[in-house]
Amino acid sequence: MQAERLDTWRRDLDGVRRRFDGWRRRRARGARIPAVLWRAAVAMARTHGVSKTSLALHLDYYALQRRLAEGEPRRRAGGFVEVSLPPSAGGARCQVEIADPGGRQVRVELAGLSAAELATLVGTVMGGAP
């Protein structure tokens, strides 16, 4: 699985690096990086991390980190959201913690949900389909 992730990283990196290299060869001295290249770098950083991306693309770590943060909605630290769900037949309780590669995290405490209901809830909370 780690080899597959490395292959994905290399494939993603090769395309973006070629675009940056081409721009660097043609640019006028002191020209700013175009927005389209910054967007590509931010997408790489979101998936593969700021450190790896900034090193591979020869970008300033803090500039890339700032642009990544600007594209994400502001979140309150330690926020709490209560979701009321209809009661299920089961009486089991569980706690689920989920994190995505971008660093977003959610902890859910549940009582009496089926696996299908849990999958639907997690998909909704994380902003995608289960």
Of 70, 85, 118, the residue at which a domain comes to its end is 70
User: To 10 degrees, the CA torsion angle through 24, 30, 36, 38?
Assistant: 90
Furthest-apart CA atoms within the chain: distance in Å: 68
Domain boundary among 55, 70, 85: 70
Parallel, antiparallel, or unpaired: how do β-strands 93-99 and 105-111 relate? antiparallel
Number of domains forming the structure of the chain: 2
Using pLDDT thresholds of 50, 70 and 90, give the confidence band for residue 130: very low
pLDDT tier at 7, thresholds 50, 70, 90: low
Do both 60 and 37 map to the same domain? yes
30 and 65 both lie in a single domain: yes
pLDDT tens digits for range 17-48: 999 999 999 998 888 999 999 999 998 888 88
Q: What radius of gyration, in Å, describes the C-alpha atoms of the chain?
A: 20
Same domain, 54 and 93: no
Same domain, 63 and 82: no
